Each structure stands twice: as structure tokens, then as C-alpha cells.
Amino acid sequence: MTQSLDCEALSRQLSQNRVLLFNRQQEAKKLSDQLSAAKKALYAAQQDVDFYLKRGVLDWLPARKRERLAQLGAAQQRLETARLQRERFESASAENRLARQRLENEIARASDALKSVQEAPQLPALSPVQRQEHLGRLKDAVRAVRQASQYTAQALSNSQSARTLGTLDVFLDTGLIGDLIKYNRVEDAQQAAASAQSSLVRAKKALDNLPEAERVYFRSLGEISGGLRAWDIVFDDLISGLMVREKIRENCAVLERQLGELNALRRVLERRIDALSKDG
């Protein structure tokens, strides 16, 4: 019964998030059209200003000059209005992109949670002694998974920092110091990922011979070869910088997915513990 209610609640949440995402996509299209119109108005206003400035320089008659100055002032006002409108639409578009990304992440998490509930095996009838043993192993696994999540979040943070440094190196050429800091972040991320993997080994051991053990796995990170690293540090050219940044970007995507899966696994294990505790 509890599992059925969980499925219904997650299904409703998933449907609501998809409706919100559709509305965001429609709003993004509208904002894109408005931004395009604002850019066109800005261009037209800039052309007006340039036109009146050029004509004002050649026009020496006082009456005509006053008229040109008035026209120039009006054109500059339209230009400023167009600029403000463009900035407002660009800001709204950026906020809309972030909101859409958050909704897509929510949909992915809700889908994973719904799948975990739907695919969860039914608990067999357990004796009081078996139930206590099962509870203890599940609690040990939850602690290990929670620790793995913390290490994965730490690895993700370091990878994101390295990705930012890699972007700066590509476009601004941060030099040797920037490269050393970037690779230090990469090493920190690898160490945190290794710690997360060790925690998952403990979780799998705690869940040995239990159905939940099938959900425990770790996604390996891609490594930056020694040759590519040396090339990037010594020559510090655009090609090596782009290759390194792409490797780091791929690792960020892996860690983001891993973190979502670990959080979903932790929730499944916690629901098992609640179900066993109520049965007891």
C-alpha cells in the first residue's frame, strides 16, 4: 500500500514538472522573439543616432541645427530605451534558462525515484531476528551511501572549479599558475571520487545477498593522460586547453548523474527501513 501511494505521488510530481517545463519552453520562445525585436529596435535606434550626428556636423544654420539637435535627442532616447529593453529581455531569458534546467533536473530525479519504487522487490516475510539483522545492514548501507554522496558532491565541486579554470585558461591564458591550480582541483576530484567508491564498496558489502545490492554501482571518471597534461602545461595552447576542458566537462556530467543516483538509492533504502520498522 505504501509503495502504491509513493508511485502515485511521484507520478503526480512528474506530471506537474513536465507541465511546468512545457510552460517554461513556451515562455522561452516568447522571450526569444521579444529579445530579437529589442535587438532590431536597438540597431535601428543606433542608425538614427549615427544619421543625425553626421547631418548635424554638416548643418551650420542655427534653426536647422536646433531641429537636428532635437531629432538627435529623440533618437538617443529611443536608443537608450532599446538598450534597457534588450537588457531586460536578456536577463529574463537567462533566468528562464536556469528555471528550465532546474525543472529538467527535478523531472530526472522524480523519474529515477518513480522507477526505483516501481522496480523495488516486495519484502519477504521475516522473523523478528531476521528483521533486526536486515534493519542493521540497511542502516549500515545508508550511512555508507550518505558518505559516498558527500564525497561525490565534493568531487563534483572540485571538477566544476577545474572546469571554470579550464575555460579561463582557454580564453584568457592564465599561464602556469592557472594550470597548476586547475590540475590540483582535478586531483582533489579524483581522490574524492575514489573515497566515494570505497564507501560504495562498504555499502555493497552491507547489502550482500539482499535485493538492494543490485542498485549499488559506481561510474568511473575519465582520466587526463600524462601526455595531454604535459602538453597543456608546457605548450599551453588552445587545442590542449580545449581537450582538457572537455575531459573535465564529461567528468562533471558523470558526477552529477552519480550524485542523483546515490540520492535516489539512499531514499529507497530509507523507505525499506521505514517499512521494516512499521512491520516490527
pLDDT in tens, 168-185: 888 888 888 888 999 999
Residue 142 predicted with pLDDT over 80:
yes
Domains 1-119 and 127-280 share a fold: no
Query: Domain 1-119 falls in which CATH fold?
Result: Helix Hairpins (1.10.287)
Using the 8-state DSSP alphabet, how is residue 169 labeled?
A: H
pLDDT in tens, 40-91: 766 666 666 666 556 554 444 455 555 656 666 666 676 677 667 666 666 6
Residue 1 predicted with pLDDT over 50:
no
Number of CB atoms found within 10 A of residue 57's CB: 9
- Minimum mean pLDDT range among 114-118, 199-203, 217-221, 255-259: 114-118
Residues with Cβ within 8 Å of 16's Cβ and at least 6 positions away in sequence, in order, are none
Average pLDDT across the chain, whole number: 77
pLDDT in tens, 94-109: 666 666 677 676 766 6
Q: What is the mean pLDDT of residues 197-208?
A: 88
Share of the chain above pLDDT 90, in %: 20
Q: What is the mean pLDDT of residues 18-24?
A: 74
Left, alpha or beta for 120 (phi > 0: left; psi -120 to 50: alpha)?
beta
Number of CB atoms found within 10 A of residue 46's CB: 16
Which class in CATH covers the domain with range 127-280? Answer: mainly alpha
Residue whose C-alpha cell reads 527501513 in the numeric block: 273
Q: What is the mean pLDDT of residues 136-146?
A: 91
Domain residue ranges of the chain, discontinuous segments joined by +: 1-119, 127-280
